[in-house]
Chains A and B, each alone.
Chain A
Amino acid sequence: MKTLVPESVRSKAEASLARFLIRNAVPILFTVLCLVGSYYARLPLKFLLNDIIVRMARNSFLVISLIIPVLAGLGLNFGIVLGAMAGQIAVITVTYWEIGGIAGFLLSMLLALPYAILFGWLTGILFNRAKGKEMIAGLILGFFANGLYQLVFLFLVGTIIPFRNEYMLLSTGIGLRNTVNLKGIHYALDNLLKVGVMGLNIPVATFASIVLLCLAIRFLFKTKLGQEFRSVGQNRYVAEVSGINVDRVRIIAVIFSTVLAAWGQLIFLQNIGTLNTYGSHVQVGTFAVAALLIGGATVSRATVGQALLGTFLFHLLFIISPLAGKNMMGSAQVGEYFRVFVAYGVIGVALALHAWQNITKKS
Chain B
Amino acid sequence: MEQRRTQFGLNIPALVQSAGYPRLIITAFLLALMVYAAVLGLPIGQLVSSILVRFGMNAILVLAMIPSIQSGTGPNFGISLGIVCGLVAATLSIELDLVGLTAFFFAVAVSAILGSLVGYVYGLLLNRVKGQEMTVGTYTGFSIVSLMCVFWLMAPYKSPEMIWPYGGEGLRVTITLQNRFDKVLNELLAFDIVGVRVPTGLLIFLAICCALMWVFLRTKTGMAMLAVGSNPRFAASSGINVDKFRLVGTVLSTALGAVGIVVYAQSYGFLQLYTAPLYMPFFAVASILIGGASIKHATIVQALVGTFLFQALLVVALPVANEAIANNLSEVIRIILSNGMILYALTRKEAGGDLG
Direct interface between A and B, CB < 8 A: yes
CB within 8 Å of B: which residues of A? Answer: 126, 129-130, 132-133, 135-137, 139-141, 143-144, 146-148, 150-151, 154-155, 172, 174-175, 329, 331, 333-334, 337-338, 340-341, 344-345, 347-348, 351-352, 354-356, 358-359
Q: A340-B146, A340-B149, A351-B135 are in contact. List 10 more A-B contacts (CB 8 A).
A: A132-B131, A147-B340, A154-B326, A337-B146, A337-B150, A344-B143, A345-B146, A351-B129, A351-B136, A355-B135
Please list 5 pairs of residues, one from A and one from B, whose beta carbons are closer than 8 Å in the complex, sorted by A's number.
A130-B347, A341-B146, A348-B139, A355-B132, A359-B130
Give, as a whole number of angstroms, the nearest-CB distance from A138 to chain B. 9
- B residues less than 8 Å from A141 (CB atoms): 339, 343
Given A147-B339, A355-B128, A355-B132, the answer on whether A341 and B326 have CB atoms closer than 8 Å is no
Contact pattern, B 135-150, Cβ under 8 Å of A = 1, otherwise 0: 1101110110011011
CA gap between A123 and B237 in the complex, in Å: 39
Check if B346 sits within 8 Å of A139, measured CB to CB. Answer: no
Complex partner residue of A155 from B132, B150, B279, B329, CB under 8 angstroms: B329
Partner among A129, A151, A172 whose Cβ is within 8 Å of the Cβ of B347: A129
Q: B139 to chain A: which residues have CB within 8 Å?
A: 344-345, 347-348, 351
Do B150 and A352 touch across chains, with their CB atoms under 8 A apart? no
Q: Are B343 and A337 in contact (CB under 8 A)?
A: no
Residues of B within 8 A of A351 (CB): 129, 132, 135-136, 139
Q: Is the CB of A136 within 8 A of B138?
A: yes
| Of B129, B140, B340, the contact of A144 (CB 8 Å cutoff) | B340
Contact A354 B343 (CB under 8 A): no
Bound CA–CA A151/B129 (angstroms): 36
> How far apart sit A174 and B327, CA to CA, in the bound complex (Å)?
11
Instruction: Report the minimum CB–CB distance from A178 to chain B (whole Å).
Output: 12
Interface residues of B (CB under 8 A from A): 77, 125, 128-132, 134-136, 138-140, 142-143, 146-147, 149-150, 153-154, 169-170, 279, 282, 325-326, 328-329, 332-333, 335-336, 339-340, 342-343, 346-347
**CA A135 to CA B143, docked complex, whole Å:** 17
Q: Which residue of A lies closest to B140 (CB)?
A: A348
**Bound complex: CA of A323 vs CA of B218, how far in Å?**
55
Question: Which B residues touch A129, using CB under 8 A?
Answer: 347
B322 → chain A, closest Cβ, in Å?
12
**Nearest-Cβ distance from residue A363 to partner chain B, whole angstroms:** 11
Q: Which residues of A contact B129 (CB under 8 A)?
A: 351-352, 355-356, 359
B339 touches A140 (CB 8 A): yes
Leading 4 A-B pairs by shortest Cβ distance: A348-B139, A355-B132, A147-B335, A355-B129
Q: Which of A130, A136, A144, A352 contacts B125 (CB 8 A)?
A: A352
Q: Which residues of A contact B329 (CB under 8 A)?
A: 154-155
- Considering the complex, give the chain A residue whose CB is closest to the CB of B151: A337
Q: How far is the CA of A146 from the CA of B335 in the complex (A)?
A: 8
Partner of A359, one of B128, B143, B332, B340: B128
Enumerate chain A residues within 8 angstroms of B77, measured Cβ to Cβ: 136
- Shortest distance in angstroms between B290's beta carbon and chain A's nearest beta carbon? 14
Q: How far is the CB of B295 from chain A (nearest CB, A)?
A: 9
- Residue in B131, B326, B347 whose beta carbon sits within 8 Å of that of A137 in the complex: B347
Q: Which of B134, B142, B149, B150 contacts A133 (CB 8 A)?
A: B134
Q: State A95–B194 Cα separation when bound (angstroms).
A: 55
Assess whether A136 is in contact with B134, with CB atoms less than 8 Å apart. yes
Residues in A whose Cβ lies below 8 Å from that of B340: 144, 147
Contacting pair B135 A136 (CB below 8 A)? yes
In the complex, which residues of chain B have a beta carbon less than 8 angstroms from the beta carbon of A155? Answer: 325-326, 329, 332
Chain B residues in 8 Å Cβ range of A144: 335-336, 339-340, 342-343
Contacts of B131 in A (CB 8 A): 132, 355, 358-359
Contact A333 B169 (CB under 8 A): yes
A76 CB to closest chain B CB (Å) equals 9
- With A341-B147, A354-B132: A130-B142 Cβ-Cβ less than 8 Å: no
CB distance from B63 to the nearest CB of A (A): 22
Check B150–A334 contact: CB distance below 8 A.
yes
Instruction: Report the Cα distance A130→B349, complex, angstroms.
Output: 9
- C-alpha gap A298/B154 in the complex (Å): 34
Taken together as a complex, chains A and B put the C-alpha atoms of A21 and B138 apart, in Å, by 28
Closest Cβ neighbor of B274 among chain A residues: A337
Distance in angstroms between the alpha carbons of A131 and B102 in the assembled complex: 49
**Taking the nearest CB of chain A, how far is it from the CB of B86, in angstroms?**
20
Known: A154-B326, A155-B325, A355-B132. A348 touches B343 (CB 8 A): no
A24 to chain B, nearest CB (A): 22
Q: How far is the CA of A169 from the CA of B328 in the complex (A)?
A: 16
How far is it, in angstroms, between the C-alpha of A351 and the C-alpha of B154 when the chains are bound?
29
Chain A residue with the shortest CB-CB distance to B149 = A337
